[in-house]
């Protein structure tokens, strides 16, 4: 404070101090319009963003990292950016201290999507790579292909439930969550190839539901027994922080059917009565979706239709105009469309392997082995891609 008083005291008596100093300057300064700063990412920023996203997948989503090799080279950056976005969204509950902070993070991404689609992403690696990949898609297709904004927003909105761990009232609600997350990830990747196909989207819908249901089962121990809040080490006793409240993210109708009580799971873990039966029931629904895909592919190879209608046809992003992508694409058979996009469907292989391991451990979802990767995935995925089946 003494230093501040010494500086300002000469000017307290009169305002002429400032005026006299101004008169000594030969020219006055004033604001003027300058050229706008170019908001598009630089090549170095894009390269750095790509390295960041690849590292993120390698550390937190190893199956997506492994399966990226089956995505065509021209769409791989989009796939990597999109999967990195999914990782970033999924980590919000465990890296924020309260649902309110989590909602703010989700709003950041909603705002970022608008900037990404406008070609002026925020200085965030995932946003930079995603914007670059979308720009490349527009250039490759002369603007004919597009990424549906509603799908990107759907990914973000679906994650709100994970902030508070609100239970799924029934298995249909769990399937809806899987559709809005993992199926939507596949729709977006198909659009980046680009592929406009009701059959490919239909296959993606079933696979995404299976992947999403399995993801909820795999994460059940982590949600039931969450790590401490990010602020807990420094938070004073009795204040905010500490361990987060655990939850059991199984559909309530399945839990009631098998007599599973949340408080008993939180107390006894894997030994809770009825838990394995409930996990079996939910896992069966995921397996059913993969079996449905097997039958759809078999029907297509026999020259038949897939056997049932796509329930989401006509919804946003599911309007099909093959002529927009060229006459050659319009002459493809449904089987050709699926085979050309088969790399997008490879998460089905990883999910089937995980469900087989879950069965091997008698549906004890708390087995630590189920949280580790599967060394068989690269080989199984290669054979599945070569044979154009999902395992």
Q: What is the pLDDT of residues 52-82, one digit of tens each?
A: 999 999 999 999 999 999 999 999 999 999 9
Q: Is residue 327 part of a domain?
A: no
142 in the same domain as 79: yes
What is d(CA 263, CA 187) in angstroms, rounded to the nearest whole number?
Answer: 38
282 in the same domain as 221: yes
* Residue 98 main-chain phi, psi, to 5 deg: -155, 155
pLDDT at 331: 79
Q: CA dihedral defined by 50, 51, 55, 56, rounded to 10 degrees?
A: -40
Q: How confident is the model at residue 11 (pLDDT cuts 50, 70, 90)?
A: very low
pLDDT at 329: 56
155 in the same domain as 173: no
68 in the same domain as 58: yes
Q: Which of 137, 164, 191 is the last residue of a domain?
A: 164
pLDDT at residue 21 above 90? Answer: no
Tokens of 6: 């010494």
347 in the same domain as 294: yes
Q: Could you give the number of structural domains in the chain?
A: 2
pLDDT in tens, 273-319: 999 999 999 999 999 999 999 999 999 999 999 999 999 999 998 98
127 in the same domain as 200: no
What is d(CA 170, CA 146) in angstroms, rounded to the nearest whole number?
Answer: 34
Q: How confident is the model at residue 320 (pLDDT cuts 50, 70, 90)?
A: confident
pLDDT at residue 12 above 70? Answer: no
200 in the same domain as 143: no
Q: Is residue 323 part of a domain?
A: no
Q: Is residue 352 part of a domain?
A: yes
pLDDT at 228: 72
Q: Is residue 60 part of a domain?
A: yes
155 in the same domain as 112: yes
Q: Is residue 350 part of a domain?
A: yes
Q: What is the CATH number of the domain that holds 299?
A: 1.10.600.10
pLDDT in tens, 224-270: 998 776 554 444 333 344 457 799 999 999 999 999 999 999 999 99
Residue 104 domain boundaries: 41-164
159 in the same domain as 126: yes
175 in the same domain as 128: no
Q: Which of 133, 164, 195 is the last residue of a domain?
A: 164
pLDDT in tens, 119-148: 999 999 999 999 999 999 999 999 999 899
Residue 46: asked if its preceding bond is cis (omega within 30°), the reply is no
8 Å CB contact between 348 and 325 = no
Q: Give the Cβ contact number of residue 211 at 10 Å.
A: 25
Q: Which of 111, 139, 164 is the last residue of a domain?
A: 164
| Burial of 83 (C-beta count, 10 Å sphere; 0-12/13-18/19+) | buried
pLDDT at 30: 54
pTM (predicted TM-score): 0.86
Q: How confident is the model at residue 330 (pLDDT cuts 50, 70, 90)?
A: low
Those residues whose C-beta lies under 8 Å from the C-beta of residue 130, and which sit 6 or more positions away, are: 78, 81, 82, 85, 116, 121
174 in the same domain as 120: no
| Average pLDDT, integer, range 340-348 | 98
91 in the same domain as 209: no
Q: How many residues does the chain have?
A: 391
Q: Is residue 354 part of a domain?
A: yes
Q: What is the mean pLDDT of the chain?
A: 88
pLDDT at residue 186 above 70? Answer: yes
pLDDT at 240: 42
């Amino acid at each position: 404070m003494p230093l501040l008083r010494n500086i300002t005291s000469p000017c307290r008596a009169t305002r002429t101090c400032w005026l006299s100093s101004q008169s000594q300057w030969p020219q006055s300064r004033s604001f003027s319009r300058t050229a706008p700063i170019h908001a598009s990412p630089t090549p170095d920023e894009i390269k750095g963003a790509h390295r960041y996203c690849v590292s993120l997948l390698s550390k937190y989503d190893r199956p997506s990292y492994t399966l990226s090799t089956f995505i065509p080279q021209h769409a791989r950056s989009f796939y990597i950016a999109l999967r990195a976005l999914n990782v970033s969204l999924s980590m919000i509950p465990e890296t924020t201290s309260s649902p309110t902070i989590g909602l703010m993070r989700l709003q950041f991404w909603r705002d970022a999507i608008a900037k990404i689609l406008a070609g002026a992403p925020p200085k965030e690696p995932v946003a930079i790579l995603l914007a670059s990949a979308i720009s490349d898609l527009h250039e490759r297709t002369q603007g004919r292909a597009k990424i549906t904004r509603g799908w990107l927003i759907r990914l973000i909105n679906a994650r709100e439930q994970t902030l508070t761990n609100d239970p799924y009232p029934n298995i249909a609600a769990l399937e809806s969550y899987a559709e809005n997350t993992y199926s939507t990830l596949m729709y977006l990747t198909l659009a980046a190839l680009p592929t406009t196909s009701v059959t490919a989207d239909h296959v993606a819908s079933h696979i995404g539901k299976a992947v999403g249901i399995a993801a909820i089962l795999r994460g059940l121990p982590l949600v039931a027994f969450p790590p401490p809040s990010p602020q807990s080490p420094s938070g004073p006793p009795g204040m905010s922080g500490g361990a987060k409240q655990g939850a059991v993210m199984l559909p309530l109708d399945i839990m009631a059917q098998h007599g599973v009580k949340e408080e008993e799971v939180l107390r006894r873990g894997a030994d809770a009565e009825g838990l394995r039966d409930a996990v079996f029931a939910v896992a069966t629904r995921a397996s059913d979706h993969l079996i449905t895909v097997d039958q759809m592919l078999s029907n297509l190879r026999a020259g038949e239709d897939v056997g049932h209608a796509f329930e989401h046809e006509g919804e946003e992003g599911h309007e099909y105009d093959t002529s927009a992508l060229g006459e050659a694409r319009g002459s493809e058979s449904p089987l050709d469309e699926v085979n050309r996009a088969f790399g997008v469907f490879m998460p089905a292989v990883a999910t089937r392997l995980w469900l087989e391991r879950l069965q091997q451990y008698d549906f004890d979802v708390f087995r630590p082995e189920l949280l580790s990767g599967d060394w068989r995935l690269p080989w199984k995925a290669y054979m599945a891609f070569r044979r154009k089946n999902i395992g």
